[in-house]
Amino acid sequence: MKKSLIAALAMALALPAAAQTLINGAGATFPYPLYSKWFAEYNKLQPDLRFNYQSIGSGGGIQQITNGTVDFGATDAPMNAEETARLPGALHIPTVLGAVVAIHNTPVEGLKLTPALLADIFLGKVVRWDDPAIAKVNAGLKLPATAITVAHRSDGSGTTYIFTDYLAKVSPAWKEKVGAGKSVKWPVGLGGKGNEGVTGLVKQTPGAIGYVELAYANQNKLSMAALQNRDGVFVSPSLEATSAAAAGVPMPADFKVSLTDPSGKTAWPIASFTYLLVKKDQTDPRKGEALVRFLWWAVHDGQKLAAPLDYAPLPPAVVAQVEKAIRTITVQGKPVGLAAAR
């Protein structure tokens, strides 16, 4: 009696585990809404495959895949030399693009900024909205006679990394004084936690300027400044302009590239990939193959789900290159048979 009970219990516990494959991942918070959508949609196609994703931040994602506690990681910034040394056999698979935009709290519609102006504002060199330098690029617009209050992220974040990486490229003074990083020493301004914190500061402070992710700004209908790109064109932030950024940068085979300040007339200058990190040789046959097939799906069918959630899809040229990268992933040394490229 007792034995049969235990046997029944064991079967009840073992059955779902045998029928279902669970793939664990952890990392960046920025793509989390899209990834959960992907996992849910993919689960409809492959009911015996489930994903569990913890959005703990890029740094945590890199750490967890390095320690082998998850099957894939996710990060907004490519791994640095120190991190690569600890996890040599990892591939960066770009999934979508994100952009960072400058939001402001002024009555000005259609505010335009040049890279030099943006850097000078965040350096504390330009401190008033009616500064002649701002007036020069905004001819015909009425600028308020108020002081500029700078708002930035106080928490370490990929958004800050992309933004400061851009400023360091376009302003030698920024590069020398501040540099690029997930947390930096801001010359001026107030810090808010998260996109919502920065938005709160900007909304609460007349004359404030801050930076947030494009997706967040779109969803909350914040007023964004147009920015002059490398080709000298003033571009308004949009998903198309973000995708165009990835086409304007020579793409290395490992995708570890900064997309900020790209060339291209329509490119938004502050854009970046977000990546999934997977080990080049998968040890678990079932999980490994499932993961490879999912990645293939994500860069093809999955891309159609990106725009409705305010993520910029990968441009076709990059998808072709990512296909090659996915084909190099092996499961216990053997490649996975994938459908021909579409």
Partner 1 sequence: MPLPADILPAAAVSARRGGNRGDRLYHAALQLLGGAVLAVAGLVLLELADVAAPAARRLGLGFLWRNDWDPVSGAFGALPFVYGTLVTSAVAIALALPVSVGLALFLSEMGPRRLRPVVSFAIEVLAAIPSVVYGLWGLFVLVPVLRDWVQPALARALGFLPLFQGPPIGLGYLAAGVILAVMILPTVTSVTIEVLRTVPASLREASLALGATRWEAIRMAVLPFGRAGIVGAALLGLGRALGETMAVTMVIGNSPEIHASLFAPGYSLPAVIANEFAEATGEVHLGALAALGLVLFGITVLLNGAARLLVAAVARGSARSAR
In whole angstroms, give the CA distance from residue 311 to residue 177: 32
The residues, ordered by sequence, that sit 6+ positions from 35 with a Cβ below 8 Å of its Cβ are 25, 53, 74, 95
Least Cβ distance, residue 29 to partner 1 (angstroms): 9
Q: Which stretch binds partner 1 (CB under 8 A): 152-160, 276-284, 301-309, 323-331?
A: 152-160
Contact call for residue 107 and partner 1 (CB under 8 A): no
Of 33, 45, 30, the closest CA to residue 294 belongs to 45
Q: Which stretch binds partner 1 (CB under 8 A): 39-47, 177-185, 260-268, 280-288?
A: 177-185
Least Cβ distance, residue 17 to partner 1 (angstroms): 32
Q: Which stretch binds partner 1 (CB under 8 A): 15-23, 184-192, 261-269, 310-318?
A: 184-192
Other beta carbons within 10 Å of 250: 7
The residues pairing with 25 across neighbouring beta strands, listed in sequence order, are 53, 72
Phi and psi torsions of 53, nearest 5°: -120, 125
CA angle 249, 252, 253 (to 5 degrees): 140
Q: Nearer to partner 1 by C-beta: 46 or 80?
A: 80
- Residue tagged 């998968």 (tokens): 282
Whether residue 318 contacts residue 251, with contact meaning beta carbons closer than 8 Å, is answered with yes
**Residues within window 230-289 making contact with partner 1, judged by CB under 8 A:** none
Q: Nearer to partner 1 by C-beta: 59 or 144?
A: 59
Contact call for residue 157 and partner 1 (CB under 8 A): yes
For 203, the 3-state DSSP assignment is: helix
* Of 25, 60, 78, 315, the one binding partner 1 by CB under 8 A: 60
Cα atoms in the 13 Å half-sphere on the side-chain side of 126: 21
**Tokens in use for 197?**
């914190």
Least Cβ distance, residue 145 to partner 1 (angstroms): 15
* Of 102, 190, 267, 270, the one binding partner 1 by CB under 8 A: 190
Q: Nearer to partner 1 by C-beta: 178 or 331?
A: 178
Least Cβ distance, residue 128 to partner 1 (angstroms): 12
* x-marked contacts with partner 1 along 114-143 as a string, rule CB under 8 A: ------------------------------
In whole angstroms, give the CA distance from residue 115 to residue 126: 13
Whether residue 207 contacts residue 167, with contact meaning beta carbons closer than 8 Å, is answered with no
Contact call for residue 82 and partner 1 (CB under 8 A): yes
In the complex, the residues that contact partner 1 under the rule CB under 8 A are 56-60, 80, 82, 147, 149, 154-158, 178-186, 189-193, 197, 200-201, 204-205
